[in-house]
Amino acid sequence: MKNSFKILVMLLMLCAFSFADEFDEALEAEDTGEYTKAVQLYEKACGKGNTQACFNAGTMYDFGDDIRKNLTKASTLYKKACDKNHNDACYNLALIHEDNGDYAQAIKLYKKLCDSEDTDACFNLALIYEEGSGVKKDYAQAAKLYKLACDKEDMDACINLGLLYEYGGNGIKQDYAYAAKLYKTACDNDYMTGCYNLAILHEDGSGVKKDYAKAIKLYKEACDKDHGLSCNNLGLLYDEGKGVKKDINKALELYKKSCDTGTNLGCKNYESLK
Protein backbone atom coordinates (compact mmCIF):
# COMPACT_ATOMS: atom_id res chain seq x y z
CA MET A 1 0.00 0.00 0.00
CA LYS A 2 2.81 2.44 0.88
CA ASN A 3 4.65 1.74 -2.37
CA SER A 4 1.47 2.12 -4.41
CA PHE A 5 0.78 5.43 -2.69
CA LYS A 6 4.25 6.74 -3.49
CA ILE A 7 3.89 5.71 -7.13
CA LEU A 8 0.50 7.39 -7.31
CA VAL A 9 1.88 10.58 -5.81
CA MET A 10 4.81 10.50 -8.22
CA LEU A 11 2.47 10.03 -11.19
CA LEU A 12 0.29 12.90 -10.03
CA MET A 13 3.34 15.10 -9.64
CA LEU A 14 4.54 14.20 -13.13
CA CYS A 15 1.10 15.06 -14.55
CA ALA A 16 1.10 18.34 -12.67
CA PHE A 17 4.54 19.24 -14.00
CA SER A 18 3.40 18.22 -17.49
CA PHE A 19 0.39 20.51 -17.69
CA ALA A 20 2.24 23.25 -15.82
CA ASP A 21 4.96 23.11 -18.48
CA GLU A 22 2.36 23.18 -21.27
CA PHE A 23 0.54 26.05 -19.63
CA ASP A 24 3.76 28.05 -19.26
CA GLU A 25 4.68 27.27 -22.87
CA ALA A 26 1.22 28.45 -23.94
CA LEU A 27 1.64 31.73 -22.05
CA GLU A 28 5.02 32.25 -23.69
CA ALA A 29 3.65 31.43 -27.15
CA GLU A 30 0.77 33.86 -26.64
CA ASP A 31 3.21 36.58 -25.53
CA THR A 32 5.30 36.08 -28.68
CA GLY A 33 2.29 36.10 -31.00
CA GLU A 34 2.21 32.36 -31.72
CA TYR A 35 -1.50 32.18 -31.11
CA THR A 36 -2.29 28.89 -32.84
CA LYS A 37 0.45 27.18 -30.86
CA ALA A 38 -0.75 28.85 -27.68
CA VAL A 39 -4.36 27.72 -27.98
CA GLN A 40 -3.26 24.18 -28.82
CA LEU A 41 -1.08 24.06 -25.70
CA TYR A 42 -3.85 25.54 -23.56
CA GLU A 43 -6.26 22.88 -24.83
CA LYS A 44 -3.72 20.15 -24.12
CA ALA A 45 -3.21 21.40 -20.56
CA CYS A 46 -7.00 21.78 -20.20
CA GLY A 47 -7.42 18.13 -21.15
CA LYS A 48 -5.12 17.26 -18.25
CA GLY A 49 -7.18 19.22 -15.74
CA ASN A 50 -5.76 22.76 -15.78
CA THR A 51 -8.88 24.88 -15.43
CA GLN A 52 -7.08 28.17 -16.10
CA ALA A 53 -5.85 26.71 -19.39
CA CYS A 54 -9.45 25.82 -20.28
CA PHE A 55 -10.47 29.40 -19.53
CA ASN A 56 -7.60 30.94 -21.51
CA ALA A 57 -8.31 28.78 -24.55
CA GLY A 58 -12.00 29.61 -24.20
CA THR A 59 -11.35 33.34 -24.27
CA MET A 60 -9.19 32.98 -27.39
CA TYR A 61 -11.99 31.17 -29.22
CA ASP A 62 -14.61 33.48 -27.72
CA PHE A 63 -13.13 36.81 -28.76
CA GLY A 64 -11.42 35.63 -31.94
CA ASP A 65 -8.90 38.46 -31.93
CA ASP A 66 -5.91 36.27 -32.69
CA ILE A 67 -7.44 33.00 -33.90
CA ARG A 68 -10.64 32.11 -35.74
CA LYS A 69 -13.66 32.79 -33.54
CA ASN A 70 -15.43 29.58 -32.50
CA LEU A 71 -18.16 29.99 -29.88
CA THR A 72 -18.91 26.25 -29.81
CA LYS A 73 -15.34 25.50 -28.74
CA ALA A 74 -15.33 28.47 -26.38
CA SER A 75 -18.51 27.21 -24.69
CA THR A 76 -17.10 23.69 -24.29
CA LEU A 77 -13.89 25.01 -22.76
CA TYR A 78 -15.68 27.46 -20.47
CA LYS A 79 -17.98 24.68 -19.28
CA LYS A 80 -15.01 22.48 -18.35
CA ALA A 81 -13.60 25.30 -16.26
CA CYS A 82 -16.99 26.33 -14.89
CA ASP A 83 -17.70 22.77 -13.76
CA LYS A 84 -14.58 23.13 -11.60
CA ASN A 85 -15.84 26.40 -10.12
CA HIS A 86 -13.88 28.85 -12.28
CA ASN A 87 -16.27 31.78 -11.86
CA ASP A 88 -14.95 33.87 -14.75
CA ALA A 89 -15.55 30.91 -17.05
CA CYS A 90 -19.10 30.53 -15.71
CA TYR A 91 -19.72 34.24 -16.32
CA ASN A 92 -18.42 34.16 -19.91
CA LEU A 93 -20.42 31.01 -20.58
CA ALA A 94 -23.54 32.77 -19.27
CA LEU A 95 -22.90 35.67 -21.65
CA ILE A 96 -22.71 33.28 -24.60
CA HIS A 97 -25.95 31.57 -23.56
CA GLU A 98 -27.65 34.95 -23.17
CA ASP A 99 -26.43 36.15 -26.57
CA ASN A 100 -27.75 32.94 -28.12
CA GLY A 101 -31.16 33.42 -26.50
CA ASP A 102 -30.72 30.51 -24.11
CA TYR A 103 -31.92 32.49 -21.11
CA ALA A 104 -32.66 29.44 -18.97
CA GLN A 105 -28.98 28.45 -18.94
CA ALA A 106 -27.83 32.05 -18.59
CA ILE A 107 -30.14 32.62 -15.61
CA LYS A 108 -28.94 29.42 -13.95
CA LEU A 109 -25.29 30.50 -14.22
CA TYR A 110 -25.90 34.13 -13.26
CA LYS A 111 -27.90 33.02 -10.22
CA LYS A 112 -25.09 30.73 -9.09
CA LEU A 113 -22.57 33.54 -9.48
CA CYS A 114 -24.82 36.16 -7.89
CA ASP A 115 -25.26 33.88 -4.87
CA SER A 116 -21.45 33.95 -4.66
CA GLU A 117 -21.55 37.78 -4.58
CA ASP A 118 -20.53 38.37 -8.19
CA THR A 119 -22.10 41.79 -8.69
CA ASP A 120 -21.80 41.71 -12.49
CA ALA A 121 -23.85 38.53 -12.53
CA CYS A 122 -26.45 40.08 -10.19
CA PHE A 123 -26.66 43.10 -12.49
CA ASN A 124 -27.09 41.00 -15.65
CA LEU A 125 -29.70 38.83 -13.96
CA ALA A 126 -31.57 41.96 -12.86
CA LEU A 127 -31.60 43.21 -16.46
CA ILE A 128 -33.09 39.92 -17.63
CA TYR A 129 -35.94 40.24 -15.12
CA GLU A 130 -36.44 43.95 -15.83
CA GLU A 131 -36.63 43.39 -19.59
CA GLY A 132 -38.49 40.07 -19.39
CA SER A 133 -35.94 38.27 -21.54
CA GLY A 134 -36.88 34.61 -21.52
CA VAL A 135 -38.79 35.06 -18.26
CA LYS A 136 -41.86 36.95 -17.11
CA LYS A 137 -41.02 40.61 -16.54
CA ASP A 138 -40.53 41.07 -12.81
CA TYR A 139 -39.51 44.55 -11.59
CA ALA A 140 -39.61 43.48 -7.94
CA GLN A 141 -37.06 40.74 -8.58
CA ALA A 142 -34.98 43.10 -10.71
CA ALA A 143 -35.00 45.68 -7.90
CA LYS A 144 -33.91 43.07 -5.38
CA LEU A 145 -30.97 42.05 -7.57
CA TYR A 146 -29.97 45.63 -8.40
CA LYS A 147 -29.96 46.39 -4.67
CA LEU A 148 -27.66 43.43 -3.98
CA ALA A 149 -25.21 44.80 -6.55
CA CYS A 150 -25.67 48.43 -5.52
CA ASP A 151 -24.97 47.58 -1.88
CA LYS A 152 -21.63 46.21 -3.06
CA GLU A 153 -20.84 49.49 -4.84
CA ASP A 154 -21.90 48.62 -8.38
CA MET A 155 -22.92 52.13 -9.43
CA ASP A 156 -24.63 51.02 -12.65
CA ALA A 157 -26.92 48.91 -10.46
CA CYS A 158 -27.59 51.91 -8.18
CA ILE A 159 -28.59 54.00 -11.20
CA ASN A 160 -30.87 51.30 -12.64
CA LEU A 161 -32.46 50.78 -9.24
CA GLY A 162 -33.00 54.54 -9.02
CA LEU A 163 -34.74 54.53 -12.40
CA LEU A 164 -37.11 51.77 -11.26
CA TYR A 165 -38.13 53.85 -8.23
CA GLU A 166 -38.23 57.14 -10.12
CA TYR A 167 -40.77 55.86 -12.61
CA GLY A 168 -42.43 53.14 -10.53
CA GLY A 169 -44.97 50.66 -11.85
CA ASN A 170 -45.00 46.89 -12.34
CA GLY A 171 -44.92 46.21 -8.61
CA ILE A 172 -42.57 49.06 -7.70
CA LYS A 173 -44.05 51.98 -5.76
CA GLN A 174 -42.80 55.29 -7.13
CA ASP A 175 -40.35 56.86 -4.68
CA TYR A 176 -38.54 59.97 -5.90
CA ALA A 177 -36.72 60.49 -2.60
CA TYR A 178 -35.19 57.00 -2.71
CA ALA A 179 -34.30 57.46 -6.37
CA ALA A 180 -32.56 60.74 -5.49
CA LYS A 181 -30.58 58.98 -2.75
CA LEU A 182 -29.42 56.32 -5.20
CA TYR A 183 -28.47 58.87 -7.85
CA LYS A 184 -26.50 60.84 -5.26
CA THR A 185 -24.59 57.70 -4.31
CA ALA A 186 -23.65 57.17 -7.95
CA CYS A 187 -22.80 60.84 -8.46
CA ASP A 188 -20.59 60.87 -5.35
CA ASN A 189 -18.72 57.94 -6.92
CA ASP A 190 -18.05 59.87 -10.15
CA TYR A 191 -20.83 58.26 -12.20
CA MET A 192 -21.99 61.22 -14.23
CA THR A 193 -25.32 59.65 -15.19
CA GLY A 194 -26.12 59.70 -11.48
CA CYS A 195 -25.31 63.44 -11.34
CA TYR A 196 -27.45 64.05 -14.44
CA ASN A 197 -30.45 62.15 -13.10
CA LEU A 198 -30.18 63.87 -9.73
CA ALA A 199 -29.97 67.27 -11.45
CA ILE A 200 -33.24 66.57 -13.27
CA LEU A 201 -34.97 65.77 -9.97
CA HIS A 202 -33.71 69.05 -8.46
CA GLU A 203 -34.75 70.96 -11.58
CA ASP A 204 -38.25 69.49 -11.45
CA GLY A 205 -38.58 69.33 -7.67
CA SER A 206 -39.37 65.61 -7.74
CA GLY A 207 -38.67 63.96 -4.39
CA VAL A 208 -36.28 66.77 -3.50
CA LYS A 209 -36.61 70.52 -3.09
CA LYS A 210 -36.82 72.35 -6.42
CA ASP A 211 -33.41 73.95 -6.62
CA TYR A 212 -32.04 75.39 -9.88
CA ALA A 213 -28.72 76.25 -8.26
CA LYS A 214 -28.14 72.63 -7.28
CA ALA A 215 -29.32 71.38 -10.66
CA ILE A 216 -26.92 73.77 -12.42
CA LYS A 217 -24.05 72.64 -10.20
CA LEU A 218 -24.75 68.98 -10.95
CA TYR A 219 -25.20 69.52 -14.68
CA LYS A 220 -21.94 71.48 -14.78
CA GLU A 221 -20.08 68.77 -12.86
CA ALA A 222 -21.20 66.16 -15.37
CA CYS A 223 -20.79 68.40 -18.41
CA ASP A 224 -17.20 69.19 -17.38
CA LYS A 225 -16.60 65.44 -17.67
CA ASP A 226 -18.15 65.32 -21.15
CA HIS A 227 -21.60 63.98 -20.25
CA GLY A 228 -23.43 65.23 -23.34
CA LEU A 229 -26.99 65.26 -22.00
CA SER A 230 -25.86 67.30 -18.99
CA CYS A 231 -24.28 69.89 -21.30
CA ASN A 232 -27.52 70.02 -23.28
CA ASN A 233 -29.72 70.47 -20.21
CA LEU A 234 -27.42 73.13 -18.80
CA GLY A 235 -27.61 74.86 -22.17
CA LEU A 236 -31.40 74.82 -21.95
CA LEU A 237 -31.29 76.59 -18.59
CA TYR A 238 -29.11 79.36 -20.06
CA ASP A 239 -31.26 79.42 -23.20
CA GLU A 240 -34.47 79.90 -21.21
CA GLY A 241 -33.00 81.88 -18.31
CA LYS A 242 -34.07 79.40 -15.64
CA GLY A 243 -32.04 79.73 -12.44
CA VAL A 244 -29.47 81.82 -14.31
CA LYS A 245 -29.41 84.98 -16.35
CA LYS A 246 -30.46 84.26 -19.93
CA ASP A 247 -27.29 83.90 -22.03
CA ILE A 248 -27.67 82.76 -25.64
CA ASN A 249 -23.92 82.62 -26.26
CA LYS A 250 -23.40 80.40 -23.23
CA ALA A 251 -26.31 78.21 -24.34
CA LEU A 252 -24.76 77.87 -27.81
CA GLU A 253 -21.43 76.95 -26.29
CA LEU A 254 -23.04 74.22 -24.18
CA TYR A 255 -25.19 72.87 -27.01
CA LYS A 256 -22.05 72.72 -29.18
CA LYS A 257 -20.16 70.82 -26.50
CA SER A 258 -23.10 68.45 -26.12
CA CYS A 259 -23.16 67.92 -29.88
CA ASP A 260 -19.41 67.27 -29.92
CA THR A 261 -19.93 64.36 -27.51
CA GLY A 262 -22.28 62.75 -30.05
CA THR A 263 -25.52 63.80 -28.35
CA ASN A 264 -28.11 64.34 -31.09
CA LEU A 265 -30.33 66.54 -28.92
CA GLY A 266 -27.43 68.91 -28.37
CA CYS A 267 -26.82 69.09 -32.13
CA LYS A 268 -30.49 69.79 -32.78
CA ASN A 269 -30.65 72.58 -30.20
CA TYR A 270 -27.41 74.10 -31.46
CA GLU A 271 -28.68 74.23 -35.05
CA SER A 272 -32.00 75.72 -33.94
CA LEU A 273 -30.40 78.49 -31.90
CA LYS A 274 -27.40 79.57 -33.98
pTM of the model: 0.86
Predicted confidence at residue 110, as pLDDT, reads: 97
Q: What is the pLDDT of residues 70-87, one digit of tens each?
A: 999 999 999 999 999 999
Of residues 19 and 179, which shows the higher confidence score? 179
* CATH code given to domain 14-84: 1.25.40.10
Region 46-61 average pLDDT: 95
Phi, psi dihedrals of residue 172, rounded to the nearest 5°:
-110, 125
CA-to-CA separations, 46 to 42, 55, 79, 101, 157, in angstroms, rounded:
6, 8, 11, 28, 35
**pLDDT averaged over every residue in the chain:** 92
Instruction: Label residue 65 by pLDDT band (50, 70, 90).
Output: confident
* Cβ pair 146, 157 in contact under 8 A: yes
Instruction: Label residue 20 by pLDDT band (50, 70, 90).
Output: low
Phi, psi dihedrals of residue 50, rounded to the nearest 5°:
-85, 105
CA-to-CA separations, 172 to 135, 164, 168, in angstroms, rounded:
18, 7, 5
Predicted confidence at residue 263, as pLDDT, reads: 97
In a 10 Å sphere around its CB, with 0-12 CB exposed, 13-18 middle and 19+ buried, how is residue 99 labelled? exposed
Of residues 248 and 3, which shows the higher confidence score? 248
Measured CA angle at 62 (ends 56, 65), to 5 deg: 90
Q: 18 pLDDT exceeds 70?
A: no
Region 233-250 average pLDDT: 97
Percent of the chain with pLDDT over 90: 89
Q: Which amino acid is at 187?
A: C
Name the residue ranges covered by the structural domains of the chain. 14-84, 195-274
Q: What is the pLDDT of residues 98-133, one digit of tens each?
A: 999 999 999 999 999 999 999 999 999 999 999 999
Q: 53 pLDDT exceeds 60?
A: yes
Predicted confidence at residue 21, as pLDDT, reads: 84
Instruction: Label residue 144 by pLDDT band (50, 70, 90).
Output: very high
Q: How far apart are CA 199 and CA 193, in angstroms?
A: 10
DSSP 88-138: HHHHHHHHHHHHTT-HHHHHHHHHHHHHTT-HHHHHHHHHHHHHTSSS---
Phi, psi dihedrals of residue 210, rounded to the nearest 5°:
-60, 125
Of residues 13 and 273, which shows the higher confidence score? 273
Q: Is there a shared CATH topology between the 14-84 domain and the 195-274 domain?
A: yes
Of residues 43 and 5, which shows the higher confidence score? 43
CATH architecture of the domain formed by 195-274: Alpha Horseshoe (1.25)
Of residues 64 and 17, which shows the higher confidence score? 64
Q: 273 pLDDT exceeds 50?
A: yes
